[in-house]
């Protein structure tokens, strides 16, 4: 199987995380995006999602500007593929489900001021 271009991993942008200093700023940003584009919001303990494509962080999080989540059909194989291309991963950032399967993991280094992480498609 030729994986030189990564197409067999189904890579797609899942969401963009936007860092804010506090919950009040996050609420304002989420409300603005929702008002402008007719998005629905979803509040979580650490963030507010605007239409699932934007995650507005309630506190500063990884990445100077925020983070970009890349969804994939097979996170383990995608991780190995990216490692073969020189990407190092922050193993401490790995999140796993109740069965111990990898669900998300951040790259070690930022790209253009953004942290990147892989996210397993459900």
77: left (phi over 0), alpha (psi -120 to 50) or beta: alpha
| Six token digits for residue 29 | 């940003």
Whether 36 and 55 share a structural domain = yes
User: Which of 2-6, 24-28, 97-101 is predicted most confidently?
Assistant: 24-28
pLDDT at residue 8, rounded to an integer: 85
Report d(CA 15, CA 53) in Å as an integer.
4
Whether 27 and 56 share a structural domain = yes
Whether 50 and 80 share a structural domain = no
pLDDT at residue 31, rounded to an integer: 98
Q: Which range has the worst mean pLDDT, 3-17, 18-32, 59-73, 75-89?
A: 3-17
CATH code, 71 = 3.10.180.10
Average pLDDT over all residues of the chain: 94
Query: Per residue in 64-105, pLDDT tens?
Result: 999 999 999 999 999 999 999 999 999 999 999 999 999 999
| Six token digits for residue 22 | 């506090």
| Six token digits for residue 67 | 């983070």
Whether 119 and 71 share a structural domain = yes
Domain span at residue 70 reads 62-122
pLDDT at residue 122, rounded to an integer: 86
pLDDT at residue 1, rounded to an integer: 43
Whether 84 and 67 share a structural domain = yes
- Domain assignment present for residue 93? The answer is yes
pLDDT at residue 7, rounded to an integer: 81
Last residue within a domain, chosen from 61, 88, 114:
61
3-state secondary structure of 17: strand
Q: How many domains are there within the chain?
A: 2
Question: Which residues, other chains included, contact 53 with Cβ-Cβ below 8 Å and sequence gap of 6+?
Answer: 13, 15, 16
Whether 28 and 40 share a structural domain = yes
pLDDT at residue 4, rounded to an integer: 57
Q: Do 106 and 89 meet the contact criterion of CB atoms below 8 Å apart?
A: yes
């Amino acid at each position: 199987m030729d994986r030189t271009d990564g197409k067999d991993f189904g890579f797609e942008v899942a969401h963009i995380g936007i860092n804010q200093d506090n919950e009040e700023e996050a609420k304002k940003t989420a409300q603005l995006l929702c008002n402008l584009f007719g998005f629905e919001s979803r509040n979580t303990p650490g963030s507010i999602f605007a239409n699932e494509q934007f995650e507005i962080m309630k506190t500063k999080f990884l990445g100077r500007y925020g983070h970009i989540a890349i969804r994939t059909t097979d996170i383990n194989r995608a991780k190995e593929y990216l490692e073969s291309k020189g990407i190092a991963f922050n193993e401490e950032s790995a999140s796993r489900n109740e069965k111990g399967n990898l669900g998300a993991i951040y790259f070690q280094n930022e790209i253009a001021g953004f942290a990147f992480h892989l996210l397993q498609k459900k």
